[in-house]
Amino acid sequence: MMTEDLFAEVAIMGTALDKSLHYSVPDRLAGNLLPGSRVIVELGRRSAAGIVLSIGSAIPELPESITIRPIRDSIDELPAIPPDLLTLCLWLSRYYFYPLGEVFDLVIPFGVSEPITSVRRRGKGRASRRTDPEERQNLKAGVFELTGDQAAALQQTLPFVETPSFQPFVLYGVTGSGKTEVYMRLVEKAAESGNGAILLVPEIGISAQMESIFRERFGNRLCVWHSALSEGERKRSWADIRSGAKKIVLGARSAVLTPVQNLGLIIVDEEHDSSYKQEDHLRYNARDVALMRGKIVGGPVIMGSATPSIQTVHRCTEKRYRLISMPARILNRSLPELEVVDMKREGGRRGIFSFRLREAIGETMRSGQQALLFLNRRGYSKYYLCNTCGHALECESCSVTLTYHKGDDRLRCHFCGWETHLPERCPVCGHAALFPRGFGTENVEKEVKKLFPEARLVRVDRDTMNTRRRLVSALGEVRSGEADILLGTQMVSKGHDFPNMTLVGVINADAGLQAPDFRAGETLVQLLIQVAGRAGRGEEPGRVILQTYNPDHFTIESALRLDYDGFCREELKSREKLQYPPFSRLLKLLVTSADEGATVAGARLLTAICREKAEDFRKAGGNVAVLGPSPAAFVKLKNRFRWQLFIKTWTSPDMQDFVQGVLDAVKGDPALRAVQITVDRDPSTEV
């Protein structure tokens, strides 16, 4: 017999449905279902998996023609989504305007009807207990005496971990100031209290080093989570986290969505990093999601960086976040000395390396120390250009130039992966006048081997490090002293600790300076200060050489002085004058289609709807601006044409209300069926 007065609200997984459905709860399931449980239900003529959102005795009024069907079965013994994560998923769906069922698909790494089981069931019973005295003693064993800055940071944060309560902290510490040790002490305290902790790092490469450090301290209680895990590893790890067998999670951005039990602490290392922003599907920023999850569970969120984002700096000045400064390196080690080389003055010597940098590399090698050469451009040549007609070789699927890779003699698109051989003649004018322009890490590697044939060089970019194992091995060679020179892209710019590295050479400090993005200066100065911070972290002092064609540019000057505070003050003045974030809120509506005409028409129609809605919105007391439409920075990617428009508001509620109204208005509009509309809230790039 069926329970007539008990109903479940269910979000269907694997669909873009923008509403939940109601089902009756059979007697046999009445005592087992909870919010967060996965269930099998009927959807039309097929079965589907769903997540129970709520259970109660009342349902909304429905037409008499609609029959309430019963839930067919439950999938897991333990609800797949714990209460705090369920609340977070509901927020993610609303805030990022993303279907709730698809949010759950991204959170749960199992097939829609595959039960969650843990290979470590025996760990479930002991995971929730408090750490015993022997374990506590072992935790205190890889531990040195704290610096004054570290002790002060712990004094301010530990009370919020011991008695969990929500508070955002910003650990503003220079490179080499010992933030990692502070993180570990905080995680220790959370573990002693029986609470879970999440530590986010922006890159898998950084997590490899962090994993080694944290594994030594926490052993098998640590679970590592990132996209490089195999499907089986992801499932086992997720099940262990959900069961409580693992309560300390270290990983990249998606780790913030793991079901850690009794979560009492979240740490976001390198909080400024753009890698925390997901650029497809659910376009969330893991730092912002961490803050919301901390608020939900009532625990502190520690955001660490040597170069905090402008948004974070502003919120510290508003007293919304608590600022903790760590202005000195451990063991009183000095910050590196920076010098600039004006490449315009190199004259006939102009090339990849200035005379000063070549000289410094030689000095470093003769002294038995290591050098890092940084260039945020992989490949051999940036692009090929025809000297006769000016045509640049472009990807057939994307409106971007192809990068030449000499190692396999191929032209490759760094967006879609399409590749081809280098043609003998220009495909436009037919002349044999194709010549390389610019250079990448592959070209630099060749030049280093030519100038320093005895050098042991490791190149780290996405072409050479296509697996996590290779990356870990390469970085291990540098740390062990088996390599003299580390050549790399952004992958090596942050988080790594190489004690014998005394020289950093930035080959092109101007890269990205002219990008069509109001954050270009912020991104560049963060990158330069971060990569400079790899030098002099051991006993010997470090030095940094910046090669630039713009030595007088404010961003370059700020990096040269390591004056991030001064840069932020001036940048905030500029942003306030122009009413850019953090003084406003931005949202991008991206219109795409395989047909160029349909894309343009769709973008213009969407803009017209937005402008009409904006007028009504302002009359009702709201404040909104509609900017665009315009072609995206890359007007064609992966065979789809792309146009965009931006919505600007001055409060988050205004953004929520206005955009939801627009999406409701365009839903089902036949004139927009030929295009796809993607919502990107708080966009981090112009791509």
| CATH number of the domain within which 194 lies | 3.40.50.300
Q: Print the domain residue range for 592.
A: 585-681
Look up the pTM and report it.
Answer: 0.91
What pLDDT is stored for residue 121 in this prediction?
A: 42
Residues 221 and 299 both lie in one domain: yes
CATH classification at residue 95: 3.40.1440.60
Looking at the fold, whether 660 and 559 belong to one and the same domain comes out as no
In a domain, 414, yes or no: no
Please check whether residue 491 lies inside any domain of the structure.
Answer: yes
- The pLDDT, as a whole number, for residue 350 is 63
Is 130 a domain residue?
Answer: no
191/233 same-domain check: yes
Residues 311 and 368 in one domain: no
Q: Are residues 103 and 194 in the same domain?
A: no
> Is 126 within the bounds of a domain?
no
Q: Are 376 and 502 in a shared domain?
A: yes
What is the per-residue pLDDT for 86? 98
Say if residue 323 is in the same domain as residue 348: no
pLDDT of residue 349: 59
Query: Domain check: are 164 and 298 in the same one?
Result: yes
Amino acid sitting at position 582: P
How many separate domains does the chain show?
Answer: 4
Splitting the chain (687 residues) into consecutive groups of 10 residues, what average pLDDT does each group show? 74 90 93 94 93 91 84 93 97 97 92 67 40 46 83 98 97 95 97 97 80 93 90 93 96 96 97 94 97 98 97 97 96 93 79 94 97 85 85 89 87 89 93 87 93 95 83 90 94 85 95 82 94 92 94 94 96 95 97 97 97 97 95 91 96 98 93 96 75
Are residues 184 and 282 part of one domain? yes
Letter for the amino acid at 247? K
Whole-number CA gyration radius for the chain: 27
**Within-domain flag for 529:** yes
Domain boundary among the residues 107, 126, 158 is at: 107
- Is 389 a member of any domain? no
Q: In this structure, is residue 594 part of a structural domain?
A: yes
Number of alpha carbons in the 13 Å side-chain half-sphere of residue 154: 20
Burial of 302-327, coded b for 16+ CB within 10 Å and e otherwise, reads: bbbbbbbbbbbbbbbeeeebbbbebe
Residue 280 and residue 181 share a domain: yes
Could you tell me if 503 and 535 are in contact, meaning their C-beta atoms sit under 8 angstroms apart? yes
Nearest Cα to Cα of residue 175 among 304, 275, 303, 301 = 304
Same domain, 602 and 562: no
Question: Is the domain of 600 the same as that of 629?
Answer: yes
Question: Which pLDDT score is estimated for 66?
Answer: 82
In a domain, 429, yes or no: no
- How many whole angstroms separate alpha carbon 308 and alpha carbon 315? 11
In the sheet that 196-200 helps form, which strands lie side by side, from edge to edge?
A: 222-225, 248-251, 196-200, 263-269, 300-305, 167-173, 322-326
Q: How far is CA 687 from the centre of its chain?
A: 15
